[in-house]
Amino acid sequence: MTIEDTKSLTSAEKVDSIPEEPETTQDKSTNQMRKDRNKAMKRVPLRHQISLDFEMEDGYHYREVIDRADRIDRYLKAGYTLVEKPDGTKEGRSKDPSNLGKYRSRIVGVGKDGRVERAYIMRIKQEWYDADQEAKMADLKRKMRSAQHVKGVPAKQAYGQVVINDTLE
């Protein structure tokens, strides 16, 4: 194909007309290994990887809380409790070393200081959780309304038009 021939081609045809470089032996083996690995791996959605694989009691809201700084203490002060294992074991042998201890937890990573980080399962009464969510939503709505007014004047008059797509109602 000459340069004159390519002038009449569309961009898609030009790309198709470029000859492919032959794969080297190393490229073939790398590509084959990648294909084999992808076939062998079974995709597991993230929501199925969460460690909440236990019987959750009705009337409670559950969440995983990473033990960093004072997070566990803050949740305890807010009314959350740590979820104990059913047998109440404290320490001992386990097939899964991330599952040692009295409370339900799992290893979730390594912190900046090099220590293993653990997420604990905590729960709070559903009515308390719902009340907290309602208070949080009321505060958010108040902030959104305040963004529409500046010192008692509608923001449209003070700065121009302000548009908030409110899907909270």
Label the pairing between strands 116-125 and 60-66: antiparallel
pLDDT of residue 138: 94
pLDDT of residue 93: 46
Torsion of CA 54, 60, 61, 62, to 10 degrees: -30
- The better pLDDT of the pair 65, 30 is held by 65
Give residue-wise pLDDT tens across range 33-79.
777 777 777 777 765 665 556 778 899 999 999 998 899 999 999 99
- The better pLDDT of the pair 137, 142 is held by 137
Give residue-wise pLDDT tens across range 146-166.
776 666 666 666 665 656 666
φ, ψ dihedrals at 75, nearest 5°: -65, -40
What residue segments make up the domains of the chain, in order of their start?
Answer: 60-128
